[in-house]
Structures are given as C-alpha cells and as structure tokens.
C-alpha cells in the first residue's frame, strides 16, 4: 500500500493540515515546525493537537514528517549559529513529543569553507547535545544536492555523522530524489545500484522517508531545483519505479514539488494510478 503525501502549510495548525491531507487524498504529510526562514515558533495548542490526533486516526493519516527550518546550520563556523541550531532543534523535538512516533528531518548543514570533516564534527556535536534517550521522534539527515558547501551530498558523509552520534538509534535518513539526482546518483538508469550502495554505506534500515521530487536539472548538477512529477530530468517512469521498488515501497513518500493543493492532488492521483496492480 502506497503511503504518500505532500508538504503542507502549518500556519493554521495540525487539524487544518490533517484536513488538507484528506482533501488531496494523502495518507501522510510533511510540515515546517516553524517559519522555514525564521526561528520563531507559535505556542503549541493542545486542543488542536488532540483534535488532529483524533482526525488522523479516523482518516488513516500516519507517519507525519516535521521539517526543521532551512536557515539552521549545525555545521556553521560561528559558534553562536551552531548553538542556535541546537536550541531550535531541541525545542522542535520537545514539541514533537506531543506527536510521538514520527520523524523530524533536517538539512545537515554547510561547512562554509571549513571543510567537510570539520562540518561533520560540528553537526555530530550538535546532535549529541540534543538527542536524549527518552525521545519518541526519529531525527533524519536529509540527502543533499551538494550546492555550495552542503554536507550530505555523498552517502559516506551521512554515514560519518551517524558514526559520531552516541544515541544513533534515534537517527535515520530521508532520501530526496531531486537531491540525490543532482548530487550525481543515477536513480533513473541505475536505481538498484544506487540503493545497493546506500545499503552498503548507510544500511537501508536507516532509510525512514523519501522526498519525492523531480529535478529541473541534469544528473550531477548540484543545483537543488525541484520540478513537478514527470516534468523534470528524472521523469515519471523513474518515479514509478522508485515508489514501487521492493526496498522502498513501504516507506512514506512526501512530495515537495512546486504546487498548490490542487497540483498535489493531481500528482498523488497520478502516482496512485500508476501503481494500481493490473486486474
């Protein structure tokens, strides 16, 4: 059974997101914990969370994915920015305890000229400062396209972060199809080999979520410009192979394509139709 959803605006609260998800025939969704370009978060509304949990139960919505703001950089050369990243992630994780059993995804960070090695050690230190044994959320490292000095363009870099995190049982990986394509992993012609490589380096057991996006750019471009499903260089056939691949098909898929709700509804319907078993 395909579990698919899209990125939704969290500005009207959790119940509103649940209702938006049902509108587009999604069974899951992703949302920003706060303004993606800022750091302020609204106070949690316990009534909204309770109403959402009821609604989600009634409508089969599971595995919601929180996304940290983009501006955090746990690999920054600036101590204060690293501390800020840790504080915001810790606050997000304490909020996520109200929605236990879900995942929280973040961009590992950019080393901004310090080198990958130094960046990785900064990220691991931030994670070691916030991961507590009683956490009920899995923290996901997102695979990145490698634009600028982004860390996470190679599976090996994510492996190194995981190796340095003490509570790594609280950690997983979110694979973004646009990002890995832009990073140079040929998921169109060599999906099996890419997944074998992921398994050898990180372990498929760590893979908890897929960001399903087409790419406006060719393989290895390091650009990170998402395209609508089937409208980019990855293409619909490859997308269908990804959502039906035995190693991936039971994972939750989240669309982050340039769409409003109507567009997401169309993509979800298209993808569901493409994997319907032949009668």
Q: Could you confirm whether 211 is annotated as catalytic?
A: yes
Catalytic residue among 7, 159, 179, 206: 179
Among Zn ion, Fe ion, none, residue 224 binds (CB under 5-8 Å by kind): Zn ion
| Residue 154 lies near Zn ion (rule: CB under 5 A) | no
Residue 32: strand pairing partners: 67
In sequence order, the 6+-apart residues with CB closer than 8 A to the CB of 186 are 193, 194, 219
Active site residue 224: yes
Give 56 or 180: the residue with its C-beta nearer to Zn ion.
180
Catalytic (active site) residue 176:
yes
Asked if 226 is part of the footprint of Fe ion (rule: CB under 5 A), the reply reads no
- Does residue 14 have an active-site annotation? no
**Count of residues that interact with Zn ion, criterion CB under 5 A:** 1
Distance of closest approach, residue 179 Cβ to Fe ion, in angstroms: 6
| Active site (annotated) includes residue 164 | no
The partner in contact with residue 154, picked from Zn ion, Fe ion, none with C-beta cut-offs of 5 to 8 angstroms by kind, is: none
- Rounded Cα distance between 264 and 258, Å, is 9
Q: Any alpha helices (H) in 29-154, and if so which ranges? A: 46-59, 79-96, 116-130
Listed in sequence order, the DSSP H helices in 145-229 are 155-164, 177-183, 191-201
Catalytic-role residue among 82, 111, 159, 211: 211
Whether 239 and 248 have beta carbons less than 8 Å apart is answered as: no
Catalytic-role residue among 142, 150, 154, 267? 142
Using DSSP, state whether 196 is helix, strand or coil: helix
Is 211 among the residues that bind Fe ion (CB under 5 A)? Answer: yes
Annotation marks residue 233 as catalytic: no
**Nearer to Zn ion among residue 170 and residue 226 (C-beta):** 226
Residue 70 is among the residues annotated as catalytic for this protein: yes
Residue 256 appears among annotated catalytic residues: yes
Question: Closest approach of Cβ 176 to Fe ion, in Å?
Answer: 4
Q: Which of 224, 229, 251, 259 binds Zn ion (CB under 5 A)?
A: 224
Strands of the chain (E only): list them.
3-8, 28-32, 65-67, 103-106, 109-110, 138-142, 150-151, 171-176, 207-212, 214-215, 226-227, 252-255
Pairing of strands 171-176, 138-142: parallel
List C-alpha distances in Å: 82 to 39, 90, 95, 124, 133: 13, 12, 20, 11, 22
The residue (of 122 and 211) whose beta carbon lies closer to Fe ion is 211
Name the active-site residue from 92, 214, 224, 267.
224
226 catalytic per annotation: yes
Alpha-carbon dihedral sign for residues 217, 223, 225, 228: positive
Window of 94-102, 135-143, 152-160, 217-225 that interacts with Zn ion by CB under 5 A: 217-225
Q: Does 150 interact with Fe ion (rule: CB under 5 A)? A: no
Please say whether the beta carbons of 71 and 35 come within 8 A: no
CA 272 – CA 73 distance, rounded (Å): 36
Using alpha carbons, select from 70, 93, 72 the residue that is nearest to residue 81: 72
| Smallest distance, Fe ion to C-beta of residue 68, A | 8
Question: Does the protein bind Fe ion through residue 176 (CB under 5 A)?
Answer: yes
Which residues sit at the interface with Fe ion, rule CB under 5 A?
142, 176, 211
Residues annotated catalytic, as ranges: 37, 67, 70, 107, 142, 176, 179, 211, 224, 226, 256
Which residues sit at the interface with Zn ion, rule CB under 5 A?
224
């Amino acid at each position: 059974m395909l579990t698919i959803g899209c990125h939704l605006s969290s500005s009207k609260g959790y119940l509103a997101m649940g209702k938006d998800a049902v509108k587009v025939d999604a069974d899951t969704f992703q949302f920003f914990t706060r303004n993606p370009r800022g750091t302020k978060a609204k106070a949690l509304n316990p009534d909204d969370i309770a109403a959402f949990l009821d609604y989600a139960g009634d409508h089969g919505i599971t595995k919601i994915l929180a996304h940290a703001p983009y501006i955090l950089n746990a690999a920054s050369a600036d101590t204060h920015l690293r501390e800020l990243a840790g504080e915001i992630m810790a606050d997000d994780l304490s909020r996520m305890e109200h929605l236990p059993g879900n995942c929280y995804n973040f961009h590992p960070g950019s080393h901004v000229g310090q080198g990958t090695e130094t960046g990785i050690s900064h990220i691991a230190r931030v994670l070691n400062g916030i991961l507590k044994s009683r956490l009920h959320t899995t923290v996901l490292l997102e695979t990145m396209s490698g634009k600028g000095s982004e860390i996470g363009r190679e599976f090996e870099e994510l492996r190194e972060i995981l190796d340095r995190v003490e509570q790594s049982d609280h950690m997983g990986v979110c694979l973004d199809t646009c990002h890995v394509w832009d990073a140079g992993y040929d998921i169109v012609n060599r999906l099996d080999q890419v997944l074998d490589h992921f398994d050898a380096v990180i372990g498929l057991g760590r893979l908890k979520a897929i960001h399903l996006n087409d790419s406006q750019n060719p393989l290895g471009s390091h650009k990170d410009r998402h395209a609508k499903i089937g409208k980019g260089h990855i293409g619909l056939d490859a997308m269908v192979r990804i959502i039906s691949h035995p190693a991936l098909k039971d994972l939750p898929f989240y669309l982050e394509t340039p769409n409003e709700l109507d567009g997401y509804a169309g993509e979800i319907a298209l993808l569901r139709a493409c994997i319907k078993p032949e009668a």
